[in-house]
Structure 1
Amino acid sequence: MGRSQELSELKRGPVIGCHLCNKSIRDISWLLNIPRSTVSGIITK
């Protein structure tokens, strides 16, 4: 199974914004309906 496409900048922006507002990975995932692993990967990059 191959990797899926990366999220566009429009979808990465809110993740970074929430992270800068001290939201947890779980909260960001729930708010934006994105898997936790994806949120974690975006924050790590």
Structure 2
Amino acid sequence: MDNHGYGKVVLEQTLAKRNPGCRVVYLKPTEEAGAVQGREYIKG
């Protein structure tokens, strides 16, 4: 995978929410992904 200085993920399940495990979904930079709420990480 190439590093473009940007990433967006959705944390569908987390231990903090008392789920039995974690589920992280990586979103490719598409128009649909832009409409989804998630955590964005931008290289500074």
Q: TM-score, normalised by structure 1?
A: 0.25
Asked which structure has the greater CA Rg, the reply is 2
Whose strand proportion is higher, 1 or 2? 2
Q: TM-score, normalised by structure 2?
A: 0.25
Whose helix proportion is higher, 1 or 2? 1
Higher relative contact order (CA 8 A, sep 6+): 2
